[in-house]
Amino acid sequence: MTEIRCIDCKKVLGKIPEGTQVEIEIKCPKCKTTHTYKFEAQEAQVN
Ligand SMILES: [Zn+2]
């Protein structure tokens, strides 16, 4: 699992499975920082 951490205070806001492609906006309950977190599916690119 990949931890979603607040960009400001580093509080763990949630967890998502590895390789999940998602874009979510989360407001940190601790420091009130709102940020859109983007996670992209990590695919090995072989060229
Ligand atoms: Zn925070």
Domains identified in the chain, total number = 1
Please report the pLDDT score of residue 42 as a whole number.
Answer: 72
Please report the pLDDT score of residue 14 as a whole number.
Answer: 95
Ligand 1 centroid – CA 28 distance (Å) = 5
The answer to whether position 47 is within a domain reads no
Q: Domain of residue 12: give its range.
A: 2-39
Q: Classify the phi-psi angles of 9: left when phi > 0, otherwise alpha if psi is within -120 to 50, otherwise beta.
A: alpha
Ligand 1 ion: Cβ-proximal residues, 5 Å cutoff: 6, 8-9, 11, 28, 30-31, 33
Ligand 1 centroid – CA 34 distance (Å) = 8
Give mean pLDDT in consecutive 10-residue pieces for the chain, a chain of 47 residues: 96 93 96 96 72
Look up the pTM and report it. Answer: 0.76
Ligand 1 centroid – CA 44 distance (Å) = 32
The answer to whether position 16 is within a domain reads yes
Please report the pLDDT score of residue 44 as a whole number.
Answer: 67
Residue with tokens 């580093």: 10
Please report the pLDDT score of residue 17 as a whole number.
Answer: 92
